[in-house]
Each structure stands twice: as C-alpha cells, then as structure tokens.
Chain A
Amino acid sequence: MSEAPNAGPVLLDVRDVSKAFGTVEVLRSVSLQVKRGEVVTVIGPSGSGKTTLLRCVNFLESYDSGSIRIDGNEVGYREAGTRQRRRERDLAAMRAETGMVFQSFNLFPHLTAAGNIMLGLTKVRGKKEAEARSIAEHWLGRVGLAHKADSLPAELSGGQQQRVGIARAVAMEPKILLLDEITSALDPELVGEVLAVVRSLAEDGMTMLMVTHEMAFARDASSRIVFMADGGVSAVGPPKEILAAETTNERLRTFLARFRASHF
C-alpha cells in the first residue's frame, strides 16, 4: 500500500468495526487507517455504509464491535472490547477533537455565520467572546466570506452555507476533519467554491476522511481512496490504482463503469 509522501503516524485507526441497524448489517468488520496529514476518500455505492462509518468515527452512531482510535484514544467506549459508553461529557470533549461537515450543512438557523462558528469556541473551548469573534472572522476570511460574518444562514447561498459549515468545523482545530458528501446538495455551479476550500485545507496539512462522489476531486486531492461495498472495505489504494478502468476488483469495476455512465 502506498502512502502520502509527508504522512505522519497513524491518527485514525479503525479496526474490525461492525455495526447493525436492527438486523441489517451496515458495517462488516471495517478496518482503515488515516495518517496525520493524509486525505483519505471513501467511495462506494449508495447504502454501502460510508455515512455510517463517518458517523461512527465521532460517535454520532455507536458501533457494535471492533475499535476506533483517534490519537490512541478509544472513541465512544471506555476501552477497546468493552461496550461501556463513555460519559456524555467525555463524549462531547472527544467529539470536539473531530470536525464534521454535513451534506445538508446543518447550520444553526438562529445564529449568524460568525455566531455558528463562535458557539463551539465559547461553549466548548471556553474562549472569550472577543477572541472567538476574531477566530471566527479569521476562518470566514479563509473561506472567502469575511463580508458575510453577520448574515444568517437563510441569507446565504448553499455554497456559502457549506463554507460556513467548514469554517465552523475547522475553527475548533480538530485533529481530523470528516466530510460527508459535502457538495451533493449544491447546485453544480457552487461545487467548485466549496471544493477549493477543502483543497486549501488539505494543502495546509489538515487530516481528512471524506466521502464524495466527485471522482475528479478524489483523484486529485486524496492520498488514498477506500472503496466500500456492502458495508465492507473492498479495495484501498492510491487514486490512480483505484480509479483505473482496468482494475481487477469486479465490484469496483462495475461501480466505476456505472458511475462513468451516469456522470459523463
């Protein structure tokens, strides 16, 4: 398995994670590692468990067996192997270390762009109002929205809302950023501005685990691509290898062929 040239030690370590919703097995013994500074992209057909995997990483979903570690700390449970949930306060503290950007933006509608970013900074990071404001303004500047600090989400376009969503996540200085199809709900002409922000974060060395259907972006921006099928990891490798038309992985080939048919 090849890796990003400047990748550091393993930051996210997912081992043999399984999860069922009722009787439906959604994740089957999923293992994957993300090293510090890496951008790992998850692709796969609808229903293959990509979202569920991301949600397990910051424990928005619990998992039934296996272990997820970030920086050596077990996510969600007291110790690997036990199914003893951590206390809510510990879960909250742990989640503050992972940023998440959602397909549907999920901005807090009653707060301005700056307010959305400041909430976590003041309530979770304990920063003073003024300091939180200046951090929020810094990140809004980074995503090209310095002039929208006092706009409410309803006054922003989808692309702008999503950039606020990204700023809200990275302002917390998470160890890893989780991005779940963050451009899927956007009009095509707004996709570019959001991907540009992600690309610039990647260049700054932000560790990312992302789900996307933007294959061109995945090819250019990822250190590695993980192909999921039926709740399991079916293939992992560098973008060129995974996205090659002549891959020997039957399911991957079918997926890519269908994908090309519907997107080009």
Chain B
Amino acid sequence: MGYALNFNLIWRHFDKLWGGLLLSLELAVISIAIGVVIGLVLAVWYVSAGRVVRAVIAAYVEFIRNVPLILLVYLVFYGLPTVVDLAYSAPTSFVLTLSVYSGAYLVEVFRSGLEAVPRGQLDAGKAIGLTPWQRLLHVRLPTMLRITLPALSNTFISLFKDTSIASVISVPELTFGAQWINFNTFRIVEVYLVTTAMYLVTGYIMLFGLRLVERRFRAAR
C-alpha cells in the first residue's frame, strides 16, 4: 500500500480550515452564552417552582437529551421554516439549535449544583437577614458555581465539538472546511489529520483556560 502523505495541498487551502475554526468558535461561544442564560434561569426556576413548572422543564431536558443533535439541526433548519413564517441563515439556525440544546444540558448541570449547596449555608444566609434574592445571588450561586465548574468545563468543550454538526447544513465551520478541501484535493488522510489536530489543540487550550478558572475558584474553598 503506497499512500504518500503530502500536506502541500492542505496548506494551500489552510484559510478554509482557519476560517472554519474561527467560525466554529464563534458558533460555540454564542450558543454557550445563550445556553448558560437558559440553563441558569430554568435551573433557578426549577428549584423554587411547583410541580407543573418542574414537569415542563424536565420534559424539555428529557426531550433534548433523547434526540440526536443532528436531527434537531435538520428540524430547525428545514422543518421550522415550513411551519412558521421565518427566514434565517444556516449559521443563525444552527446557533438557535445549539443554544436550545446546550440550555437543556446546562439546566441539568446548574440544577444539580444548586441542589448540592448545603442547606446550612442557606440557613446561615437567612439567619443574617438576607432576602431570598440576596441569598440566591450572594450565597447559592457562588457556591453552586464552585461545585459545578468541572462539569461545566466538560460540557463547554463537548458543545464546542458539537459545532461540527453545523457542516450538515453547509455552515462553513471547521468540519465543513475539511470536507471542502477533501472534495477538491482528495487528500483525505492529510486533511482529517490536520482538522483533528486543530480540534484537539483548541479543546486543550479551552480546557487549560477553564482549569485555571477552576483552580482560582477551588482556592476559595
């Protein structure tokens, strides 16, 4: 078997990969930011709400977690516009999907963190006369954050990798760029080696950054 590796063609089209990586990061950052807001709001609502609200939030989480992301992406991009009168670009559609998707995972992370805050700390907050909002803001959320940071980092990195699914609706992110180079150069091994390395390195840089944040918070334990 004589397949000689030749990366020249890859470097010639490297801008496709680099631009793709930047777009992947952009998709991830925006979706995660929206997902964090969804997750926080729903988690806080969940732990203080009655049965009905809890059931609705739980249903959302269950639904999202049991449907493959790629299907949700198809549903929102091809399905939704036929039902409601909406027109959006593929990247917007994907951000919408990934936000709702990450929100469901983050509700779970935040909810379990909120529930893990020791009751004694909440009692102490009450005892010094903090109002419910103040207890949430100054006691429960900071402690929850410290408890959930490791799980949060893992979720963020996994969501970053999930941006590769945007390639199925032709969003020119990193995986799509790799496919484009593959179709045009047939250097399949080289292009996917380089792309894999780019996902790995980016993932590690993210992980490193998040671990630094974690360490700072853990020092405050």
Is A204 interfacial (CB-CB < 8 Å)?
no
Majority secondary structure, B binding face: helix
Q: Which residues of A contact B143 (CB under 8 A)?
A: 108-110
Q: Which residues of B contact A99 (CB under 8 A)?
A: 127-128
A89-B131, A120-B128, A124-B128 are known contacts. Are A106 and B221 too (CB-CB below 8 A)? no
Q: Are B120 and A106 in contact (CB under 8 A)?
A: yes
A108-B139, A109-B146, A119-B138 are known contacts. Are A152 and B220 too (CB-CB below 8 A)? yes
Is A154 interfacial (CB-CB < 8 Å)?
yes
Shortest distance in angstroms between A222's beta carbon and chain B's nearest beta carbon? 22
Inter-chain CA distance A85–B143, complex, in Å, is 29
Is A182 interfacial (CB-CB < 8 Å)?
no
Q: Are A110 and B127 in contact (CB under 8 A)?
A: no
Q: Residue on A with the closest CB to B137?
A: A123
Per-position binary interface string of chain A over residues 11-40, scored 1 when its CB falls under 8 Å from any chain B CB and 0 otherwise: 000000000000000000000000000000
Q: Are A102 and B124 in contact (CB under 8 A)?
A: yes
Shortest distance in angstroms between B143's beta carbon and chain A's nearest beta carbon? 6
Q: Are B127 and A95 in contact (CB under 8 A)?
A: yes
Q: Which residues of B contact A160 (CB under 8 A)?
A: none
Inter-chain CA distance A88–B48, complex, in Å, is 14
Inter-chain CA distance A60–B125, complex, in Å, is 11
Shortest distance in angstroms between A45's beta carbon and chain B's nearest beta carbon? 23
* Most interface-central of B121, B139, B217 (chain A CB within 10 A): B121
| Residue from B120, B130, B138, B142 in contact with A92 in the complex, judged by beta carbons closer than 8 Å | B130
> How many contacts A-B (CB < 8 Å)?
81
Per-position binary interface string of chain A over residues 162-184, scored 1 when its CB falls under 8 Å from any chain B CB and 0 otherwise: 00000011001000000000000
Shortest distance in angstroms between B44's beta carbon and chain A's nearest beta carbon? 16
Shortest distance in angstroms between A235's beta carbon and chain B's nearest beta carbon? 29
Q: Are A120 and B130 in contact (CB under 8 A)?
A: yes
Is B62 interfacial (CB-CB < 8 Å)?
no
Q: Are A88 and B220 in contact (CB under 8 A)?
A: no
| Residue from A92, A105, A106, A154 in contact with B129 in the complex, judged by beta carbons closer than 8 Å | A92
Is A107 interfacial (CB-CB < 8 Å)?
yes
Is A257 interfacial (CB-CB < 8 Å)?
no
Q: Are B131 and A110 in contact (CB under 8 A)?
A: no
Is B126 interfacial (CB-CB < 8 Å)?
yes
Is A104 interfacial (CB-CB < 8 Å)?
yes
Is B132 interfacial (CB-CB < 8 Å)?
yes
| B contact set with A: CB distance below 8 Å | 118, 120-121, 123-132, 134, 138-139, 142-143, 146, 217, 219-221
Other contacts beyond A58-B126, A95-B128, A102-B124: 9, CB < 8 A: A60-B123, A96-B128, A98-B127, A99-B127, A108-B121, A108-B139, A109-B121, A110-B146, A119-B128
| A contact set with B: CB distance below 8 Å | 58, 60, 88-89, 92-100, 102, 104-110, 119-120, 123-124, 152, 154, 168-169, 172
29 A-B residue pairings within 8 Å (CB atoms): A60-B123, A60-B126, A60-B127, A88-B131, A88-B132, A89-B131, A92-B134, A95-B128, A96-B128, A96-B129, A100-B127, A106-B118, A106-B120, A106-B121, A106-B124, A108-B125, A108-B142, A108-B143, A109-B121, A109-B143, A109-B220, A110-B143, A119-B130, A123-B130, A124-B128, A124-B129, A124-B130, A154-B221, A172-B129
